[in-house]
Amino acid sequence: MYKYDDYDQQLVDERVAQFRDQVNRRLSGELSEEEFRPLRLMNGVYLQLHAYMLRVAIPYGTFNSTQLRQFAYVARNYDKGYGHFTTRQNIQFNWPKLVDIPDILNDLAKVQMHAIQTSGNCIRNTTTDQYAGAAFDELEDPRPWCELIRQWSTMHPEFTYLPRKFKMAVTGSPTDRAAVAVHDIGLRIRRDDQGELGFEVMVGGGLGRTPMVGKTICEFLPKEDLLSYLEAILRVYNQFGRRDNKYKARVKILVHEIGAETFANLVEKEWEHIRDSALQVSPEEIDSLRSYFAPPAFEKLPSLSAEFAEKVGSDQEFAYWVQNNVREHKQQGYAIANISLKPIGGIPGDISHVQMDALADMADQFSFGEIRSTHEQNLVLAHVKRSDLYALWQGLKEQGLATPNSGLITDLIACPGLDYCALANSRSIPLAQRISERFGELDRQHDIGKIQIKISGCINACTHHHVGHIGILGVDKKGQEFYQITLGGRADEHAQIGKILGAGFSTDEIVDAVETVINIYLSLRENSEETFLDAYNRVGDTPFKEALYGTR
């Protein structure tokens, strides 16, 4: 994975000192809260309902065991002993004191971590496929490109006060695990007829109040032009994006209002001027970045492990975990292990400092010391020998980290909601816990099969509920929490926005309503192979509507 050189380290150290000064000026009253707000946001510090919250960047979701131990240290010393993995592959601490935050950032800088641009109207942490470098269907590891984007976007002097936040995602596989079509910019690595590497560029995807799937404005962008093209897009957006209305300020609205073609022309015109500039990426530069992400020292292993097969045969619990949480690896004899942060009835994405320390040890022992965070709020050990899976599973089980529900109904995604968030209209976590408990029985989860539920506590749609197979949106109606259901959304390479079924359900009704949807699916599917999404696409929403609202 990437290692800071002295320049990167210096920048992060300077940033910590700068923020320490800003905090001091706020505490002394020299800075008003209004003036301090964008500064703290650009350093990941939110003011939530009960406390400050610190969101630490995990660039493109890859981190190492030393960094995970430092998260545990921060959770133990400055927080209430736990952290929370977010839908942007980052980690949040919910209870730090403002006066401590410069020290926390200093502790994080020691392990090459920062909180720069995890909030604010600037370019946010670039996300990618959690299986990068391990996925068997990958054209190329997207992370060197993500790192290139990270550096270019870090404290960009021109793009620090954009109309609104700006999010990018990159996928290196045709199977899109990074939801690139619902980002402000989505990049899909592809090859042209000559086998040259480049990017398909999508712009204007996003969710929130006005969910939209991104439009492709460039079918093939040569790799050396990536930064100049991104700069052209951002420059067009910075000048022409709307600033009169916060809810119409994302680039998707600009693309929608002037049309994707006009937008593409503006970008093209701007790009012509800057294409041959210092922004051009040299082969040496990209080689250097690629060298950081070279495959680890894999052993030559047989494809089958007798020991592994024996354990799968003899231990049913382990066999279920393998079936649900283990994925194919491109290297023979290795596997990808998904670590569920969704224990039945638990808080999605939460992890204690004890679990963090233990997992760091397991990463060292079994996966080259490297960990991934996912936008589904889980973790991944990407390079585990199949013959080590049983020992890993035992270690995970001891820590309560072996829930075998990856991709199943209890692997649900929820935002912090009204339990923490100042923007929320309703609670998300307790609902997630109740749904998890309702469907917790493993046989029932297996029967229901692959399905994804996403719960957002407000229209800002942090969990991307519009592209959940079942999306749940909490709204406030005269002081009461209500939950709207959308069906049929998906965020993969066939991205589509789900349809709202009808009026919302009360807190008491919503879990039953979800169960009704599931029961209807089970009753009408053609066979157990037909997933919820396939069945929905075949029959449409009528049977679900009728079951929930009658035939009126």
Partner 1 sequence: MALVKNNLVIEDKWIFVQDEDDLPNGDIIVSLTRWKNDRETLLKRSDGLGIVLKSGENPDQIVDDLAFFQVIALTFPAFTDGRAYSYARLLRERHGFDGEIRAIGDVLRDQVFLMHRCGFDAFDIKAGDNKALAIWLDAQKEMTTFYQPTGDGRKTVRSLRDRRRLAKAAS
Q: For tokens 């009960």, name the residue.
A: 50
Residue 66 in tokens? 């030393």
Measured from the CB atom, the residue of 287 and 317 that comes closer to partner 1 is 287
Binding stretches for partner 1 (CB under 8 A)? 5, 7-8, 10-11, 14-15, 17-18, 21-22, 35, 38-39, 121, 151-152, 154-162, 235, 238-239, 243, 273, 277-279, 282, 284-285, 288
Measured from the CB atom, the residue of 291 and 551 that comes closer to partner 1 is 291
The dihedral formed by the CA atoms of 320, 322, 327 and 328, expressed in degrees to the nearest 10: -130
Other residues' Cβ atoms within 10 Å of the Cβ of residue 432: 27
Helix or strand run (H / E) with residue 83:
strand 82-85
Query: CB of residue 262 vs partner 1: minimum separation in angstroms?
Result: 16
Measured from the CB atom, the residue of 82 and 237 that comes closer to partner 1 is 237
Residue 335: name the closest of 134, 543, 81 by CA: 134
Does the CA dihedral 138-87-531-216 come out positive or negative? negative
Measured from the CB atom, the residue of 239 and 523 that comes closer to partner 1 is 239
Cα–Cα distances in angstroms (integers) from residue 179 to residues 101, 112, 170, 384, 456, in the given order: 32, 27, 9, 25, 17
Query: CB of residue 54 vs partner 1: minimum separation in angstroms?
Result: 19
Query: CB of residue 152 vs partner 1: minimum separation in angstroms?
Result: 6
Measured from the CB atom, the residue of 12 and 517 that comes closer to partner 1 is 12
Measured from the CB atom, the residue of 22 and 355 that comes closer to partner 1 is 22
| Rounded Cα–Cα distance for residues 348 and 449 (Å) | 19
Other residues' Cβ atoms within 10 Å of the Cβ of residue 500: 15
Query: CB of residue 126 vs partner 1: minimum separation in angstroms?
Result: 14
Are 408 and 450 within 8 A, CB to CB? Answer: yes
Are 475 and 425 within 8 A, CB to CB? Answer: yes
Helix or strand run (H / E) with residue 475:
strand 470-477
Query: CB of residue 536 vs partner 1: minimum separation in angstroms?
Result: 42
Measured from the CB atom, the residue of 158 and 447 that comes closer to partner 1 is 158
Are 344 and 410 within 8 A, CB to CB? Answer: yes
Query: CB of residue 253 vs partner 1: minimum separation in angstroms?
Result: 16
Measured from the CB atom, the residue of 97 and 273 that comes closer to partner 1 is 273
Query: CB of residue 161 vs partner 1: minimum separation in angstroms?
Result: 3
The dihedral formed by the CA atoms of 312, 317, 322 and 324, expressed in degrees to the nearest 10: 140
Query: CB of residue 233 vs partner 1: minimum separation in angstroms?
Result: 12
